């Protein structure tokens, strides 16, 4: 008998990731947009890393002018992780103009019961019971 997790891992809507934007492409885009030299852009980005490290090591939340912030997060084993909250406006802009591709987009907003019906139709020999 199949399990509910199989339904979601098989039929959940997912973004199909395109080729990543490389660091060189990012640098070239920033150079084109700001008319700064490559050296200047690289220096600013390197210093940003230095300042993020210093702030986070001191246990401080580091806020960028665009609304993005970085936060040190203590884990129960005594190690630290870094949480990043992206500028909420960026999230809104990406959602409003997203041009990427989705797989299983027809399953957006479906309930678990609806997803189980899809699974059961495709896998009659490995059914999942719908619990109400």
Which pLDDT value is given to residue 36? Answer: 97
Does position 2 have pLDDT exceeding 80, yes or no? no
- CA 128 to CA 89: how far, in whole Å? 41
5 pLDDT tier (thresholds 50, 70, 90):
confident
Predicted confidence band at 107 (pLDDT cuts at 50, 70, 90)? very high
54 shares a domain with 77: no
pTM: 0.74
Residue 104 lies in a domain: no
CB-count burial class (<10 Å; 0-12, 13-18, 19+) for 93:
exposed
The total number of structural domains in the chain stands at: 3
Do residue 7 and residue 24 come from a single domain?
Answer: no
Q: What is the residue range of 121's domain?
A: 1-18+109-132
User: Is the residue at 67 inside a domain?
Assistant: yes
């Amino acid at each position: 008998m199949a399990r509910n997790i199989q339904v979601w891992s098989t039929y959940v809507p997912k973004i199909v990731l395109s080729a990543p934007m490389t660091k060189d492409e990012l640098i070239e885009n920033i150079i084109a947009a700001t008319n700064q030299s490559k050296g200047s852009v690289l220096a600013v980005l390197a210093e940003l890393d230095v300042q993020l490290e210093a702030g986070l090591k001191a246990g401080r939340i580091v806020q960028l002018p665009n609304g993005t912030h970085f936060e040190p997060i203590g884990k129960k084993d005594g190690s630290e992780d870094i949480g990043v909250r992206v500028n909420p406006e960026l999230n809104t802009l990406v959602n409003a103009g997203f041009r990427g591709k989705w797989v299983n987009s027809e399953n957006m907003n479906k309930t678990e019961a609806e997803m189980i019906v899809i699974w059961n139709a495709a896998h009659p020999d490995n059914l999942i019971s719908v619990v109400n």
